[in-house]
């Protein structure tokens, strides 16, 4: 069977994986060269701390428009304080709304669009209009212990709520071991001498006391108390941030002034209960202190403390490991924590029958005829999480809305987004186009008012008997309790997906607005969510990527980062047919040291993974002309009009727009589908490198896709009858029964599946029965033909016969970024050289049948047809040479007609250069065919070659080596930002070599006038003349003989000046610009008083006031100006058209 399977794959791949893209406009060369507005890049436009002016708004938008930015997203945030001379506009005031309306009007004038964050700050959906009852919620509890066999009347202590908000949900009773000695003693508690009630002695780790080095916790008993053990529960919500150990001293004595040390305790801050024996001690006062003279975490969150007898356990002592993570109370450190067994946990003692006594409680007093025995009364309710939108202004900050309650979201939407719509008037839904949610930073939520009802509706059973599991107990047994916890997390996921993301999208759409956003990425630090399905609701789903590097030394080096961290968004965009996938782009450090060349590969990396819409992070609003101005500090590069190289940025932004044109007009072509599994949560970053060989493309899918969007036709899996996959991978042994039943249907219809044999199910309802059904079904389909298909073991993947989309000779897959997309019947491939400094030459094979290739260069906007290629067995092979960091698109179109071309090339010694027979690929002449069918060939290195054409004609050519002129002296140099500073040294070297501080530390545009005499030999029929500038700072603009050559940001980019020069004297004017970094360093070295540059950047690499700045007076200066000789070269380009 495997032999037949491999042959089938080979046939499929030779024809290309079949896909029908959405209705797409045919690719237009004109639209590629000059992209429409909808394909231009966008920017996030941060309005900082009320420092907003109309003059600044106009200048910002005009500057964006001039450089090719089409849309700006307003995010009103608060990160600056007391900037002198800057009047503040308070958020939400009439003046603020006037600024908003003015921005809309100016954008409309310029033909731009505007979006806004849906609240003040960048995360998430909140404001002062929300009260605790409408906010994000968490469950909390208290236990009371009673003896039964009698009528009891007992006041139940209320759980510790936040912001004076607590609401009962359920009062439950269950038989247990009863109270321990610590409960019966009722100690009083002080924190640093101040009474704090029973916050850390209430048997609940959810009520937390934040402690710091030097903290003292005193436990005072009414009479001497004997302890032989101490238990300390930590509850650090951001547990993923660190794995700390807190070092406590335990003291005891008769009073607070008579204490002696009895133990030193090292407590892991890991959100578990730490239990340790201590010397048997009898005392009236026990003290826990965090000494400052020992290394300590910055904060230690204490959830519960109990002093106990030798054989006792505290009120919170769960038998289920990682309980706070599994209940979405605190973040996890590893995804495995949600399901793994933890060694060393106490023996499970299941509680007895759980009795609902809610109706027997009034005003917190239980009146109940309790059966005989010891009973635990669980008062279970909820409070707010206290999370607020951030970083918001004082006027705009408030609680985050409940993400599981549409009523709360309605209130929020009415209170701010709807006001913006009203203010925008007739421009709403037009110039004012969309609302944004930024990345989820409001942390966790695990309860809402209607949770019990929603749980039963979705899971098919009541959760009431299992509520004690959420509080550290075991109901029935550990496996049953773990299954309930899975169902509990699944319900949270359903509610957030449906009642927050979907409902917010619905609200936007009802208002005629679009919905953009990043949402929840998945993994251990977010609430559980069906991530893929949640992004279905966005009009423009978004991810984010950062551009951070070592800014201390140069040259800056891009280190390939592989799969982007938040990659599931791109998988969702493909599954749910979202043509635009946005990204918060180039988030980094405001160090004024970068250039387009430095950040390029960061963008290319995510383009290769599905992103096709850049949102610059960030353009910070500049209210005045103080430069470099306002920044986001450690959270954003400085894309704004005060950046020295901003006037030259349009060339780089246009390259990105051209790339976006192609990427937005095409669909991804993953070869393999992988089921993400039924676990909850799902990891946001699970590359398939451990499953598939290098460069095999894949897409994750979820239950919704598996059930509602997949079909089988001709042995292939089809997504909505548009895209096909060779096979499906099922990587997990634990699956819901419904999942395996659906897999069986697909296999029976002819699908091929690779996976592990399913062993057990997740959900609690009918678990024993479903486990048996799962096992029986797995036995019947695993490693067998089943219907028309087959379910192979996972380890058979290595024999699947699948090959990469792009086949390479002369370079490894990890040396390039590759991408394959499709527009109708047109195949689109992108290849990017990830080497920072070296060009690469290789051969690339594309499985496209007999389609005709063309090369689309996003940097120049030029489209040409390769003049050298060969087609073998449905694969087109081309020789490719890419400059450092260069990207090229190869487009293969049907019906374009085969153009006469070169198929083989030999050098003078008879060695075949192309196609390579031994994988030893070397640089060779380049050849192209223009729209008129003219085939030309050139090679600046020269050489003698024999070629065979597609018509089997032999052609011999001889190319002369290029002539070169090196220029190292200018006729004139002017510093445009410092016109009074005279440059007398006309040699081309870095300004940093100068002794004059005004030149040495200069940042800005330097205008070079360079005269050059070109000999007659440079000219002639077919000659190409190029200008190369190796070092110019961040960017440069060039004119030749008063005619524009263009702007460049790539070192040594080959500028074609053939049509602009003539024999004899020619004049070049090169305006080279360098970043602000050198001037900032100069002002540290030699302060200039009022002339010093102004910036709000801390010039640090981390958000810590104590951190050492990356830029200070000792920092390395960047090379500035034209710091190396420039070169003009002339070489032959031979027309072979008449020889074909």
900-913: pLDDT as tens digits: 899 999 999 999 99
| Average pLDDT value over all residues in the chain | 93
> 563: pLDDT confidence band, cut at 50, 70 and 90?
confident
DSSP character at residue 596 = H
Residues 6+ away with beta carbon under 8 Å from 706: 675, 739, 742, 743
Instruction: Determine the Cα–Cα distance for residues 884 and 903; give it in Å rounded to an integer.
Output: 26
Q: Residues 216-225: what's their mean pLDDT?
A: 97
> 892: pLDDT confidence band, cut at 50, 70 and 90?
very high
Q: 994 and 950 in one domain?
A: no
pLDDT at 5 > cutoff 60: no
pLDDT at 550 > cutoff 80: no
Q: Residues 991-1002: what's their mean pLDDT?
A: 98
Q: 220 and 93 in one domain?
A: no
Q: Which of 572, 429, 539 is nearest to 115 (CA)?
A: 429
The pLDDT tens digits for 240-278 are 545 689 999 999 999 999 999 999 999 999 899 999 999
Instruction: Determine the Cα–Cα distance for residues 1008 and 1036; give it in Å rounded to an integer.
Output: 10
Q: 899 and 953 in one domain?
A: yes
pLDDT score at 267? 94
Q: What is the DSSP string of 156-190?
A: PPPP--BTTB-EEEEEEEEE-S---HHHHH--EEE
DSSP character at residue 499 = I
pLDDT at 7 > cutoff 60: no
Q: 250 and 334 in one domain?
A: yes
Distinct helix (H) and strand (E) counts, the chain: 21, 59
pLDDT at 149 > cutoff 80: yes
1086 falls within a domain: no
Instruction: Determine the Cα–Cα distance for residues 955 and 900; give it in Å rounded to an integer.
Output: 13
With residue 771 as reference, give the H or E element that holds it. Answer: helix 767-781
Tell me which residue has tokens 């101490």: 230
Helix (H, G, I), strand (E, B) or coil at 781: helix
Q: 335 and 358 in one domain?
A: no
Q: 1014 and 890 in one domain?
A: no
Q: Residues 1106-1126: what's their mean pLDDT?
A: 92
Q: Of 799, 821, 838, which residue constitutes the final position of a domain?
A: 799
With residue 31 as reference, give the H or E element that holds it. Answer: helix 29-33
422 falls within a domain: yes
Q: Which of 550, 650, 539 is nearest to 594 (CA)?
A: 550
pLDDT score at 22? 39
Helix (H, G, I), strand (E, B) or coil at 730: strand
1031 falls within a domain: yes
Q: Of 292, 327, 345, which residue constitutes the final position of a domain?
A: 345
* Overall domain count for the chain: 6
Answer whether 42's CB lies under 8 Å from 71's CB. Answer: yes
98 falls within a domain: yes
Instruction: Determine the Cα–Cα distance for residues 1111 and 754; give it in Å rounded to an integer.
Output: 53
> 85: pLDDT confidence band, cut at 50, 70 and 90?
confident
Q: 955 and 810 in one domain?
A: yes
Helix (H, G, I), strand (E, B) or coil at 108: helix
Instruction: Determine the Cα–Cα distance for residues 122 and 435; give it in Å rounded to an integer.
Output: 12
pLDDT score at 685? 63
Q: How many residues does the chain have?
A: 1140
Of 555-569, 584-598, 639-653, 882-896, the least confident: 555-569
Q: 627 and 527 in one domain?
A: yes
pLDDT at 12 > cutoff 80: no
The pLDDT tens digits for 462-491 are 999 999 999 999 999 999 999 999 999 999
Q: Residues 922-940: what's their mean pLDDT?
A: 92
Q: 626 and 506 in one domain?
A: yes
Residues 6+ away with beta carbon under 8 Å from 909: none
1035 falls within a domain: yes
306 falls within a domain: yes
Radius of gyration of the chain measured on its C-alpha atoms: 34
Q: Of 290, 320, 345, which residue constitutes the final position of a domain?
A: 345
DSSP character at residue 1115 = S
pLDDT score at 333? 85
Q: Cβ of 897: how many Cβ atoms within 10 Å? A: 7
Residue 967 β-bridge partners: 1126
Q: Which domain holds residue 973?
A: 964-1075+1118-1134
Helix (H, G, I), strand (E, B) or coil at 1131: strand
> 348: pLDDT confidence band, cut at 50, 70 and 90?
confident
Q: What is the pTM of this model?
A: 0.95
Helix (H, G, I), strand (E, B) or coil at 604: helix
pLDDT score at 687? 66
* Cβ density class 1043-1067: b for 16+ within 10 Å, e for less: eebebbbbbbbebebeebbeeeebe
Q: Cβ of 523: how many Cβ atoms within 10 Å? A: 21
Q: What is the DSSP string of 323-336?
A: HHHHTTSS--SSGG
1104 falls within a domain: no
22 falls within a domain: no
pLDDT score at 682? 85
Q: 377 and 525 in one domain?
A: no
Q: Which of 338, 293, 316 is nearest to 234 (CA)?
A: 316
Q: Which of 800, 783, 784, 818 is nearest to 672 (CA)?
A: 800
Q: 1058 and 924 in one domain?
A: no
Greatest Cα-to-Cα distance within the chain, rounded to the nearest angstrom? 115
The CATH number of the domain holding residue 1050 is 2.60.120.260
Instruction: Determine the Cα–Cα distance for residues 869 and 905; give it in Å rounded to an integer.
Output: 10
Q: 720 and 820 in one domain?
A: no
Q: Residues 291-312: what's their mean pLDDT?
A: 94
User: In three state form, how does the secondary structure of 347-360 look?
Assistant: CCCCCCCCEECHHH
């Amino acid at each position: 069977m495997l032999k037949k399977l491999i042959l089938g794959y080979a046939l499929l791949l030779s024809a290309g994986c079949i896909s029908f893209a959405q209705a797409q406009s045919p690719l237009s060369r004109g639209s590629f060269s000059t992209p429409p507005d909808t394909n231009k890049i966008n920017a996030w436009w941060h309005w900082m701390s009320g420092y907003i002016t109309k003059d600044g708004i106009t200048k910002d938008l005009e500057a964006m428009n001039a450089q090719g930015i089409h849309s700006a997203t307003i995010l009103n945030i608060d990160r600056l304080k007391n900037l002198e001379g800057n009047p503040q506009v308070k958020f939400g005031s009439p003046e603020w709304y006037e600024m908003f309306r003015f921005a809309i009007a100016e954008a409309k004038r310029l033909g731009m669009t505007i979006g806004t964050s849906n609240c003040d700050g960048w995360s998430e959906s909140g404001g002062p209009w929300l009260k605790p009852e409408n906010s994000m919620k968490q469950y909390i509890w208290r236990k009371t212990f009673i003896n039964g066999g009698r009528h009891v009347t007992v006041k139940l202590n209320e759980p510790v709520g936040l912001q004076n908000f607590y609401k009962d949900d359920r009062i439950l009773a269950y038989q247990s071991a009863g109270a321990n000695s610590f409960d019966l003693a009722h100690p009083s508690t002080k924190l640093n001498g101040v009474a704090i009630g029973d916050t850390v002695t209430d048997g609940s780790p959810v009520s937390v006391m934040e402690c710091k080095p030097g903290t003292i916790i005193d436990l005072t008993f009414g009479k001497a108390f004997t302890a032989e053990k101490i238990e300390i529960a930590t509850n650090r919500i951001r547990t993923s941030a660190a794995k700390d150990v807190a070092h406590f001293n335990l003291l005891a004595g008769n009073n607070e002034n008579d204490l002696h040390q009895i133990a030193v305790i090292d407590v892991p801050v890991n959100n578990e209960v730490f239990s340790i024996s201590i010397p048997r001690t009898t005392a009236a006062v026990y003290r826990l202190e965090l000494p400052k003279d020992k290394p300590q975490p910055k904060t230690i969150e204490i959830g519960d403390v109990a002093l106990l007898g030798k054989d006792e356990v505290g009120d919170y002592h769960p038998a289920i490991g990682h309980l706070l993570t599994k209940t979405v109370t605190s973040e996890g450190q590893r995804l495995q924590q949600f399901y793994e067994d933890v060694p060393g946990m106490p023996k499970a003692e299941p509680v007895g029958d759980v009795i609902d006594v809610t109706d027997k409680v009034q005003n917190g007093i239980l009146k109940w005829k309790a059966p005989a025995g010891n009973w635990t009364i669980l008062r279970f309710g909820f409070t707010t999480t206290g999370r607020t939108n951030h970083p918001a202004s004082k006027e705009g900050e408030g609680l985050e809305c409940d993400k599981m309650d549409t009523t709360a979201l309605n209130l929020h939407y009415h209170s701010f987004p709807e006001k913006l719509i009203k203010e925008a008037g007739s421009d709403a839904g037009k110039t004012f186009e969309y609302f944004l949610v930024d990345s989820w930073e409001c942390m966790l939520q695990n309860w809402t008012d209607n949770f019990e009802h929603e749980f039963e509706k979705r899971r098919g059973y009541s959760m009431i008997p299992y509520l004690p599991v959420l509080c550290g107990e075991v109901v029935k047994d550990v496996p049953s309790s773990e299954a309930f916890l899975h169902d509990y997390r699944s319900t949270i996921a359903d509610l957030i997906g449906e009642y927050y993301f979907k409902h917010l999208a619905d609200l936007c759409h009802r208002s005629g607005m679009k919905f953009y956003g990043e949402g929840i990425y998945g993994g251990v630090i977010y609430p559980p969510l069906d991530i893929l399905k949640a992004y279905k609701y966005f009009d423009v789903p978004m991810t984010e990527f950062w551009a951070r590097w070592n800014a201390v030394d140069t040259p800056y080096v891009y280190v390939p980062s592989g799969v982007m961290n938040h990659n599931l968004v791109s998988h969702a965009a493909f599954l749910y047919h979202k043509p635009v996938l946005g990204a918060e782009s180039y988030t980094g450090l405001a160090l004024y040291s970068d250039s387009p060349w430095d950040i390029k590969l960061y963008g290319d990396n995510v383009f290769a993974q599905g992103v096709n819409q850049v949102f610059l992070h960030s353009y910070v609003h500049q209210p005045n002309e103080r430069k470099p101005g306002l920044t986001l500090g450690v959270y954003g590069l400085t894309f704004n009009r005060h950046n020295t190289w901003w006037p030259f940025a349009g060339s780089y932004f246009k390259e990105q727009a051209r790339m976006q044109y192609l990427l937005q007009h095409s669909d991804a072509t993953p070869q393999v589908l992988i089921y993400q599994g039924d676990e909850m949560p799902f990891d946001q970053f699970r590359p398939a490198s451990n499953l598939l060989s290098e460069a095999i493309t894949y897409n994750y899918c979820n239950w919704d896709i598996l059930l509602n969007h997949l079909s089988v036709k001709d042995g292939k899996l089809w997504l909505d009858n548009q895209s096909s996959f060779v096979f499906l991978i099922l990587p997990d042994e634990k699956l819901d029964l419904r999942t395996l039943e659906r897999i069986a249907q697909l296999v029976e219809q002819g699908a091929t599946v690779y996976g592990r044999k399913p062993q057990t199910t997740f959900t609690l309802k009918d678990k024993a029965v479903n486990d048996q059904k799962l096992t029986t079904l797995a036995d019947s389909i695993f490693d067998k033909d089943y219907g028309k298909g087959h379910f192979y073991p996972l380890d058979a993947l290595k024999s699947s016969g699948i090959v990469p989309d792009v086949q390479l000779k002369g370079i490894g897959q990890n040396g390039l970024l590759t991408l394959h997309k499709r527009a109708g019947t047109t195949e689109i491939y992108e290849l990017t050289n990830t080497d920072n400094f070296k060009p690469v030459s290789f051969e690339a094979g594309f499985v496209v049948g007999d389609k005709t290739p063309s090369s689309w260069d996003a940097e120049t906007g030029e489209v040409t047809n390769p003049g050298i290629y060969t087609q073998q067995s449905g694969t087109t092979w081309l020789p490719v040479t890419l400059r450092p960091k260069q990207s090229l698109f190869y487009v293969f179109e049907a019906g374009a007609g085969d153009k006469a071309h070169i198929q083989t090339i030999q050098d003078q010694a008879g060695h075949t250069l192309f196609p390579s027979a031994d994988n030893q690929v070397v640089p060779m002449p380049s050849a192209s065919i223009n729209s008129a069918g003219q085939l030309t060939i050139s090679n600046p290195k020269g050489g003698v070659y024999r070629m065979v054409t597609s018509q089997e004609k032999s052609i011999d050519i001889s190319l002369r080596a290029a002539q070169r002129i090196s220029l190292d002296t200018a006729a004139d140099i002017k510093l445009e930002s410092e016109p009074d500073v005279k440059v007398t040294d006309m040699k081309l070297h870095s300004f940093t070599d100068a002794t004059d501080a005004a030149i040495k530390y200069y940042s800005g545009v330097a205008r070079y006038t360079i005269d050059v005499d070109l000999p007659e030999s440079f000219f002639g029929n077919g000659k190409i003349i190029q200008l190369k500038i190796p070092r110019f700072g961040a960017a440069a603009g060039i004119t030749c003989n008063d005619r524009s050559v263009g702007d460049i940001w790539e070192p040594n980019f080959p500028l074609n000046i053939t049509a602009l020069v003539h024999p004899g004297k020619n004049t070049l004017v090169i305006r080279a610009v360098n970043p602000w970094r050198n001037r900032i360093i100069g002002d540290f070295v030699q302060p200039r008083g009022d002339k010093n540059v102004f910036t709000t950047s801390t010039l640090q690499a981390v958000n810590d006031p104590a951190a050492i700045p990356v830029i200070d007076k000792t920092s390395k200066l960047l090379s500035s100006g034209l710091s190396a000789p420039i070169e003009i070269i002339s070489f032959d380009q031979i027309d072979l058209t008449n020889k074909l």
